[in-house]
Amino acid sequence: MVLETKRLVLREFARDDWQAVHVYAAAADVVAFMEWGPNTEDDTKSYVQNMIVTQRQEPRKVYEVAITLKQDGSLIGGCGLHVEAHAKAALGYCLNRTLWGNGYATEAAYALCKYGFRELQLHRIFATCRPDNTASERVMEKLGMTREGVRREHFYAKGQWQSSLLYSILANEFVEL
């Protein structure tokens, strides 16, 4: 799977991507709001290998892709759809800190939502973020997602109970640009 946007190419992960992934996956400020990380090198290598395995699964349920810059091919982050029963999927994204604030997360997430609705025939795509992660919340709002509420302390990670804001968008609400 390869998706192109104005500035990005979203492509399948390859084995050699682990070092570029590790740059952001090991950064404490990048993963502060994630359930995982900061990664060790072994964690990142394992993640990339697991994503390669998911590419061959039938039926495919995990669409994790590398976000690369169209201009030079550099890997700047990852974005994914995790397909669940009844035509719904969870959306997630993570970017190298040095490129925050440029609209890349929104651009990549939009392309993946478009793929999900158009190619995978999804009915609903949802995403969550920690309540303090205002940048991620803005991405969801820019995608046209609706805030459904707060999932209070629904999982335990990094030594404490975590809450999440829940957003979603339905196929009939998604506006193609």
Assign residue 32 the CATH number of its domain.
Answer: 3.40.630.30
**CA separation for the pair 68, 6 (Å, rounded):** 12
The reply to whether 144 falls in a domain is: no
What pLDDT score does 116 carry?
Answer: 98
Q: Stretch 134-147: mean pLDDT, rounded?
A: 97
Q: What is the pLDDT of residue 163?
A: 96
Per-residue pLDDT band at 176 (split at 50, 70, 90): confident
Tally of domains within the chain: 1
Average pLDDT over residues 151-167: 95
Domain that holds residue 106: 2-127
Helical H runs in the chain?
18-25, 41-54, 104-118, 134-142
Global pTM value? 0.95
Pairing of strands 146-157, 2-4: unpaired
Asked whether residue 146 is assigned to any structural domain, the reply reads no
